[in-house]
Structure 1
């Protein structure tokens, strides 16, 4: 065996059989269907390294397209670790803008248009010229719709007819959208600017029409890799086709079950039709999940197994590779405020138990849900990082820290080893290791600077000057380091990320799926969004929702995607409705009456207890106290907060109704199959007069 063969074989040693197949596939079209946590980045980077080390091409001949700057930075770092440099790993927009600025001057008569600093501003100008009265919120909706149209290769003249054919709902009258769209295009032309869709369109046109530019680009970039191929837009596909020309040396990676960006024009059809377009393509399925416990993987499989539509044809059933972990935790709270407080309390407990804040995430459907969690986390002194907020390197404290580091290069501090130089330089702005202030905004700022200091450990042996150069590279690529704080993020923003502990919150019907998902296709995308959220968790997964949005508000139902699963802590799904008999009215929903005065119960808490607050309680107070004492001990045994065993409302219900059997116990709110199996014998023992010690022995035996 030659040294090259040994080198290639060493590259494959830590890959599973399916990853090996993907890595060693011959040049040409390759489609890798990669489920969540199956090592797709490992497979892709090793495939690039395999091709380079085998001598097919050099790193400079490879373009690897990712969907975020962070993912591109991670790919470059991994490739460097494999000894491969020079790969053009970028987002579609970054790669296109670089080519347009290099080759496009002649196309634009000497000056390539600048990127618009605010598309919303130009939308406002366009709306005014079209004679429409708008608001900032309406302008945002118009900008989103116009972005979708441009990414879908739909121009202003075709917009009205196209959305009518597609059955798409416009944010306002379609004719008005078309007017604003046309005026927006004209406003950009007059100002000599372009938006991100223009960058892709101009580059695709340039490559298609300028033979000189096309020849140089195609001779430079000979092998293309596209990540997240299920979220490619028609405009991005058009640019990719221009780059490829008549060639087909293309590797794509995707998962149809993670198609969640159709509102931007993204479509899974290019992934679904890949082998139809390239009949000789190599197709590889990665299903071994190395990220999550079997409990998390099992729930993810249950959710996506019910999917329908074209994406379901390429559905992957994941196979968990990690050891068993804790059961997925599910609970129902009175309202969103209680939910936020209890989640913050649980995060605080996890941190106290040794889980790093940056290994915890709270994920929600919309950004509007974040405020309650920001406030609750601050109240518990939990540092947070809000994904989708200000870019890391644009934060004032980070910019100030970078200036301090650069200033220290020319001083005596610059001569120190990097591990000593960085903290010494940061003292100039008042930052010291181990001196974090209490939670809130100050703690958030401290942790942002701490992330820079922590990054220095990765560059041991480098000088302060070299480290500052690395920070400059990362800033230009928006490759931010991890900040030590609990992540608060929308489900869309969480795509591509993972944490040890994940809280999926607000899982009420009308929020997930959102009430705006009115078609089957839209609701299926919401299902996939939940699937993405679940698969972000490595070990701990906590699902929850508030029965009402506000205290005393209208009761909501659990998400229809979760209701049929019977997860402990969630209400049971209602029995399937009988088919209506012709001529008979539909049965009305059951009315719950107070056990004392007989009045209908409307408040969620009253309905769970079975009586209104004005009627005397039948609670056995001595039993309630023993239940609380047992709950506290059982929670300590499990190393978790007491409310995760049973909430106070559930304990009150037990002490009032004194259930005598598993069936009566299971009928109470908050006691699903999992909790019934784990705690049922202990609770029934207490109800029948048993001691706390006896009940605790029973719950320990069931654990």
Structure 2
């Protein structure tokens, strides 16, 4: 370190001559210290006055930290803001010159107008659909795509729109028209109108450029084409620009962010000074070494710019790797390890549990509650406070009140199917939807089904009443302090933060990398998978000292161990670790009870194959005419009994009957979910239908 407290590379960035400067700053390398010292140096040397500097970053927290550090250095008056805050201030000042007296208001929430446009376009107006539509509009504007160009752009970018691309384009166009009619601007309009004011009005550009002479952009790998357009408008023909970024931490491509402006900086500005900051002051050498190995396997253009971090702290503990039989066991082990850290003196606020998707938080909330560790969920509601979970629990409660469970163990045997049937109208589908709000909702609903599965492992006769009691107990137990607790956060929400101890959990293929990153094929798939790798890199580099990476072989206790640890961990787990070798594919459990497939003869595993009597992949020999007759009969009986249709028989049970065509009561009761009560109540009707006859009116 020099007498200024800077290392040679940091000092080189500070002392670089005026003009274009690119600082490639790895995680933990002191980038904020460096860029604030550079601003102070430019001011102290007389190159610019503090008020002539505009520094922009991506969060209000980062902008506030920059202003605080500058004040500590005796530099006041520098404008350090987010892109949107800077644009809002400028637009309010220049609006009268550009537009005149026409008033406008800032639209805080766009979902209302998106909903109106979606309704007119005949598109779903569910809360999840509107959030996803809003996300597509935001992505389009961030990437400078007009409504009419959206369909083609969505195909090129491999987007997963909520509906057809043409429908999204129609909603986008309608939304823009409604904004104009109502005299409102959204946050993206702030950037668009600011850029347009400077591009199209020379007197506005001249006044602005007389005011601001020097620009600094933090997290430059996260800029969107729209933000770059604003920056270009600010600069004009000048080049007094310092950018700071790390392409290895590019994790927001889905919002339109792109590292290409960072990667092309020295090509655009051939005289640019490029400085690489690689001394890591945040993490121990052990954590830094693992981070280098994670990102060292990266492929693609970004990989060519990777930084090789060098740990500067004293040695610490080696990163821990742990394999668990199921998610519950994983969460229990993590909570126990956290309990030991807290008891040994590590503040709970200096510990984080990081995961890929928000739905993963529930099992860790439960485990921390059981060991008395306070926690706070960052970047999302606690599991039972999420709107989709509240709606789902309400639907389950209503189903219980309407009669599900009145037949005791006969309905209880169908608990999982009843839960799935109840949750289907609120968003649970057989296959996972694409990413976005709809996918997040699906993950939460799937977690509720898994809770029901977990309950059945300890209470095989449990029904809806018992499930609702369990859910209420879990929800009531979650009132931890919102401060001084362990942080639960997604990897995206953890960006820019750091803790003494970090637990990276759920590191399974299909979760990290996320499943929908694996299905595009070709270059699109590689780009998506590489972004997932960078997410793991971001997670690893959040840890100062203690780092734990874990995964589970099955989702639920007692489940098949058919999961695999994340592909990103291959080659990272020490050779002498018990989990160094991929486990052999385990034999299906409980095959004697569940029987064998009547088509291929293989053991049946899972509730649905057991009910159908065949593997789901084996061909169905369903009698379509019988199935339709069964459905018609079920509808009549459910109306007569004033209960939901699934209380009579679920779809899966009807399909099993139509496939197996039981000829007598013994064969009928052999189908899982049909016990004595249902046999007595509905058996005669069903056997009559199987024979091709119609039940007598009023039968049953």
**Common fold, TM-score beyond 0.5?**
yes
User: Counterparts of 1:205 and 1:11 in 2: how far apart (Å)?
Assistant: 45
Correspondence 1:175 to 2:166: yes
Which shows bigger deviation, 123-132 or 548-557?
A: 548-557
Are residue 274 (structure 1) and residue 272 (structure 2) matched? no
CA displacement, residues 558-598 of structure 1 (integer Å, 9 cap, x when unaligned): 001003323465633559xxxxxxxxxxxxx866499x99x
Matches within 5 A, 1:397-546: 443-444=480-481, 447=483, 484-518=484-518, 519-546=525-552
Distance in 2 between residues matched to 1:240 and 1:368, nearest whole Å: 37
Question: Deviation of residue 443 (structure 1)?
Answer: 4.9
Q: 1:361 to 1:210 in 2, by over 3 A?
A: same
Q: Report the alpha carbon displacement of residue 537 of structure 1 after superposing the two structures with TM.
A: 0.3
Q: Contact (CA 8 Å) 1:564, 1:573: kept in 2 or not?
A: no
**Rounded Cα–Cα distance in structure 2 between residues aligned with 1:497 and 1:246:** 36
CA shift, 1:120, in A, is 2.3
Distance change >3 Å, CA 375–CA 105, structure 1 → 2? farther
Q: CA deviation at 1:160?
A: 1.1
- Find the aligned partners of 1:48 and 1:84 in 2 and give their Cα distance: 9
Query: Within 5 Å, which residues of 2 pair with 1:222-621?
Result: 222-389=213-380, 443-444=480-481, 447=483, 484-518=484-518, 519-554=525-560, 555-567=562-574, 571-574=579-582, 592=587
Residues 381 and 560 of structure 1: is their aligned pair in 2 closer, same or farther, counting only changes over 3 Å? same
Distance in 2, Cα, partners of 1:291 & 1:95:
30
Counterparts in 2 of 1:440 and 1:318: CA distance versus 1, 3 Å: farther
CA contact (8 A) 1:226 1:253 kept: yes
| Pairwise CA RMSD | 2.7
Q: 1:487–1:108: structure 2 CA closer, same or farther, 3 Å change rule?
A: farther
Q: CA shift at 1:535, angstroms? A: 0.3
Deviation of the 1:602 alpha carbon: 9.8
Q: 1:510 to 1:74 in 2, by over 3 A?
A: same
Comparing 170-179 with 495-504, greater Cα deviation is found at 170-179
Q: Relative to structure 1, is the Cα distance of residues 536 and 601 closer, same or farther in structure 2, using a 3 angstrom cutoff?
A: farther
Distance 1:348 1:237, change over 3 A: same
- Looking at structure 1, the residues matched to 184 and 577 of structure 2 have their Cα atoms a distance apart, in angstroms, of 54
1:77 aligns with 2:68: yes
After superposition, the Cα gap between the structure-2 partners of 1:105 and 1:441, relative to the gap in structure 1 and judged at 3 Å, is farther
Q: Is the 8 A contact 1:331 1:543 kept in 2?
A: yes
- Residue of structure 2 aligned with 1:46, choices 37, 43, 50: 37
Distance 1:178 1:530 in 2: 34
CA distance in 1, matches of 2:495, 2:217: 16
Partner of 1:29: 20
SS in 2 for 1:502: strand
Query: Equivalent residue for 1:118?
Result: 109
Q: Give the 3 Å change call, closer, same or farther, for CA 570–18 of structure 1 in structure 2.
A: farther
The CA deviation at 1:123 is 1.8
1:231–1:261 contact (8 Å) kept in structure 2: yes
SS in 2 for 1:548: coil
Residue in 1 aligned with 2:408? none
Shift of 1:188: 1.9
Task: Write the distance in 2 (CA, Å) between the matches of 1:189 and 1:36.
Answer: 43
3-state secondary structure, aligned to 1:489: strand
Deviations 1:11-43, CA, capped at 9 Å, x for gaps: 962111101110000000000001111111111
**TM-score, normalization by structure 1:** 0.67
Tell me the secondary structure at the aligned position of residue 544 of structure 2. strand
In 1, Cα distance between equivalents of 2:274 and 2:4: 22
Whether the aligned pair in 2 keeps the contact of 1:100 and 1:112 (CA below 8 Å) is no
1:593 and 1:34 map into 2 onto residues whose CA distance is 49
8 Å Cα contact 2:358/2:380 also seen in 1: no
Note the residue ranges of structure 2 that are not aligned, 5 or more in a row.
382-475, 519-524, 596-601, 607-700
Shift of 1:148: 1.1
Q: Secondary structure at the match of 1:73?
A: helix
Shift of 1:102: 1.9
Deviating more after overlay: 318-327 vs 187-196 = 187-196
Most deviating of 159-168 and 233-242: 159-168
Q: How does 1:79-228 map to 2 (within 5 A)?
A: 79-228=70-219
Aligned partner of residue 564 in structure 1, secondary structure: coil
**Could you list the runs of 5+ residues in structure 1 that have no partner in the other structure?**
1-9, 391-438, 448-483, 576-588, 605-703
- In structure 1, how many angstroms separate the alpha carbons of the residues matched to 2:380 and 2:124? 29
Q: Give the CA deviation at 1:552.
A: 3.4
Whether the aligned pair in 2 keeps the contact of 1:558 and 1:570 (CA below 8 Å) is no
Match of 2:625 in 1: none
